[in-house]
Structure 1
Amino acid sequence: MPAGASPRMPRHSLYSLTESSDCGPEKEEEEDSPKRLTPLEKLTRDMCHDEKTIKDLTVGKRVGFYKVRGEIGCGNFSKVKLAFHALTKDKVAIKVMEKMRLDLQTQRMLSREISNMESLYHPNVLRLYEVVETPCRLYLVLEYAGGGDLHSRLTSEGKLTDPESKIVFAQILSAVKYMHDNSIIHRDMKAENVLYSCSGCVKVADFGFSTRINNRNQMLDTFCGSPPYAAPELFKDESYLGPPVDVWAMGVLLFFMVTGTMPFRADTVPKLRRSVIEGVYALPMWVSAPCQRLIRGILKPDPSERYALDQMLGCEWLLPVELFRTARPLQQLNPVYLLEAGTGRMMQEEEDVRAALQELGVTQEHILDNQCKNSRSPFTGMYRIVLHRIQRNSGTERPPIITGVVKDPKRDSLRAYRNLRHTSKLCVLS
């Protein structure tokens, strides 16, 4: 993307939500010139001069480069609104938070949420595109998953079929393993935080309670998440290990998916606490035996006896599921990646992203001038949105399939081992 490929930009700020006084007479002179403005130049000009655009920015109908539409969700400290990028036209979800309502603890949690999402790049983890800050509000621009959440689907349509459960759970498991491999504990795994994309791919969302650990033996002491999904050790007011807490919540989630009900139910939190600590639940007989074994291996009150993620991946119930895993370098989330790759050494996907950004008017200078801002740059946001769209269109994000054929040699050997019949003169074990 050579520096001279794009016309000279106006001398005012390209990304101002509150200030437009820098736009002087020079802009008017440029408007009289025959030079054709790029889409980016036209948008930044409108943000300084167009009365409707300025009004929309003032009243919140626009946030930076995004046109905001209706509300699609809400939480304790935030609202989630549907929006679309004014240049790329892609839909996004914007999490809106009022700064005045954020106490110190909430601010720290929000900072961790942004930091942790910045360090995750997986097909089954909801993406953070951009962070926009104004004097009164903070906006997290997120991937829009238009298929709704798993909790709504289960409560409206009932339990999932066995194949559906395998496909959904395998994706959740893949996402959580990736998080743990990158030292991040989610701590709020529940059906409400599992979203469907329009393509049917599953996305783990809401990293508000997530935390980063230094090692797998690091003890945590904050009660997090929803009580019906909370592990026994959380109810004991003691320090706990992070990974087993996520694993327990996944067991509750799997039970909910295959039965349509929760394993531990009570009218009050104290009764629920007693039920969870005792670890007593009833699995319907019609749940398949391999699935029952997996659930029982996860929902063990003693965290040291709980299945590890690798055991879950290799379990008999998930053996027929073929996951599409794509190894993506984390630096690919930074638009500087396009400049460092260099012409002739980029893949077709990267060439397409570069061409799309050039067409919008994004130059090398734009990227270099914003390279230290990470998600707080509008050009990083634009780049990530275009990159994600091109990846989706190329088929890199799709649900796993059930083949019945195991292609992973390690899992294949496990399958072969389980099919062996061990015999002796006294007994036959199958």
Structure 2
Amino acid sequence: MVPLSISALSGNTMPSKTTQVYPQVQRHNLYTLTDSSECGSETEEVDPSKHLTPLEKLTVEMCKNENVLKELAVGRRVGFYKVRGQIGCGNFSKVKLAFHALTKDKVALKILEKRRLDLQTQKMLSREIANMESLYHPNLLPLYEVVETPSRLYLVLEFAGDGDLHTRISTAGKLSDQESKIVFAQILSAVKYMHENNIIHRDLKAENVLYTSKTCVKVADLGFSTRVNNRNQALDTFCGSPPYAAPELFKDDSYIGPPVDVWAMGVMLFFMVTGTLPFRADTVAKLRRAVLEGAYVLPPWVSAPCQQVIRGILKPDPSERCALDQMVGCEWLLPVEVFRPIPPLYQLNPIHLLEAGPGKLDRDQEEVKAILEKLGITQEHIYNNQGKSIRSPITGVYRILLHRVRKSRGAESAPTISGVVKDPKRDSLRAYRNLRHTSKLCVLS
């Protein structure tokens, strides 16, 4: 699993002022932010007259403030995060709201109990972390930091405070045609990016599409995701939710990853524009039969261009299923400005702030660098952070701030609908949408 982070709990005990005894937390070295059992040593005494930076104040509290130590001991704090109430749960995890003690940003903590993780689940978790680390897209829920203690693993994620797509439709009804375009375009952009990086989601469903604002969505939960050597690679693990499962998954045979994600997107689109799922049954056996038969009814109020997309996706034969590039150029989505520039992955490492040459940092990075300095995070902290990647509090602070700054400048604003786009590349895709694909290679391109 992942190496121990600065917030690790030890198995020792520490007496408080009263007769109660609390588990001792590992102390934090004030200047290097590494685990240290010598936090209160003479070499780390701080001159009371010295003006402390926010980082220094926080690390002193984590070493000497009894209330903070109690919170760390009982799980009300994890590293630099103040933990609050539960906001979700899964088969192997629960999700809680938390606040970063330095930046004051809200985050979501995905908490996993190690004792409940068998070997297979541990492999899935490692794969989830690795896949999230290798992706950087405005419509994918970002991973800020990973914190590990002897008993638990914490994934620090963006807090999507406006709920999920399934809950929104279940409570408020189907989306309008325009709303559906905006949401589906963002899902399409995220999945296309994943496939271009040879990562298959394998658990796309409305519950895993989260709203970060009224119109902006993020694809989340890469717990079943997998990296393939090429997009024609055969897979054999049944993953995901049965109502969103493609026919080939019910045939107990190997399958190709991208068309499975495409099918799930078709089920989601049907759910968005009708408020119901295309295939419904009381049991998995009956659902399997319905999916294999491929019979569903599209209500007449669904626009003809949207019906064309759904029918192009929900084809039983994966080789005939609509490809992602075809969706980008389809008539229904053509007026939507779908894609935005994606920042390079190396910008997620704070060392980029120091290694970039003069004038090479953009405005967002310059602003983040200035905030880090105000918080008391020095060049030494960043250099000491090298090699720790996502398992470092410095990386966590940096990524949270970078995301906040870019979001405030509109980097994650919803797509706009501005009439037919006169773009030669997309016009050629529009013509391409009517091509019938009989080759799996074409489907996966």
What per-residue deviation string (whole Å, max 9, x for no partner) do you get for residues 209-266 of structure 1? 0000000110000000000000000000000000000000000000000000010011
Does residue 145 of the first structure (1) align with residue 164 of the second (2)? no
Alignment-derived partner of residue 96 in structure 2: 81
Which amino acid counterpart does residue 153 of structure 1 have in structure 2?
R
Gaps of 5+ in 1: 1-8, 419-430
Q: 1:31 aligns with which of 44, 47, 58?
A: 47
* Mapping 1:111-190, distance limit 5 Å: 111-190=126-205
The answer as to 2:260 corresponding to 1:245 is: yes
1:218 aligns with 2:196: no
Q: Spell out, residue by residue over 1:327-351, the C-alpha distance to the aligned partner (whole angstroms, 9 max, x if none).
A: 2101011111111113432111111
The residue type paired with residue 14 of structure 1 is L
1:347-398 CA-to-partner distances (Å, cap 9, x unmatched) read 1111101001011011111111111111101000100000000001111110
Which letter does structure 1 place at the counterpart of 2:94?
K
Contact kept, 8 Å, 1:15 with 1:64, in 2: the verdict is no
The match for 1:372 is 387
Q: Hey, what's the Cα distance between the residues in 1 that align with 2:43 and 2:347?
A: 37
Counting only pairs closer than 5 Å after superposition, residues 11-410 of structure 1 correspond to structure 2 as: 14=33, 16=35, 20-28=37-45, 30-32=46-48, 34-198=49-213, 200-410=215-425
**Once the 2 structures are TM-superposed, how far is the Cα of residue 308 of structure 1 from its aligned partner?**
0.6
Aligned-residue offset at 1:200: 2.8
Aligned with 1:71: secondary structure? strand
Distance (whole Å) between structure 1 residues aligned to residue 314 and residue 432 of structure 2: 25
Q: Secondary structure at the match of 1:96?
A: strand
Structure-2 separation of matches of 1:341 and 1:211 = 33
CA deviation digits over 1:33-64, x for unaligned, max 9?
x2211111111111111101111100011000
Deviation at 1:27, TM superposition (A): 3.3
The alignment of Structure 1 onto Structure 2 pairs a total of residues equal to 406
Identity %: 73
Q: 1:415 to 1:227 in 2, by over 3 A?
A: closer
Structure 1 stretches of 4+ with a deviation exceeding 3 A read 9-13, 19-22, 412-418
- What is the DSSP-based 3-state SS (H/G/I as helix, E as strand, rest coil) of the residue aligned with 1:203? strand
Deviation digits for residues 167-193 of structure 1 (CA, Å, limit 9, x no counterpart):
000000000000000000000000000
Question: Aligned to 1:155, what secondary structure does the other structure show?
Answer: helix
For 1:35, what is the secondary structure of its paired residue? Answer: coil
Provide the rounded CA distance (Å) in 2 between the counterparts of 1:26 and 1:413: 68
Is the Cα contact below 8 Å between 1:81 and 1:94 reproduced in 2? Answer: yes
Residue segments in structure 2 that go unaligned for 5+ positions in a row: 1-27, 434-445
1:380 maps to a residue whose letter is T
| Alignment CA distance shift 1:305-1:143 (3 Å) | same
Q: Which amino acid aligns with 1:223?
A: F
- TM-score under structure 2 length normalisation: 0.88
Give distance in 2, aligned partners of 1:13 and 1:341.
23
Greater helix proportion: 1
CA contact (8 A) 2:33 2:381 kept: no
Does the CA-based 8 Å contact 2:29-2:38 persist in structure 1?
no
Quote the offset at 1:201 in angstroms. Answer: 1.1
TM-score by length of 1: 0.91
Deviation, 1:11, is 5.6
* Cα 1:15/1:196, change in 2 over 3 Å: farther
CA distance, structure 1, for counterparts of residue 351 and residue 420 of structure 2: 41
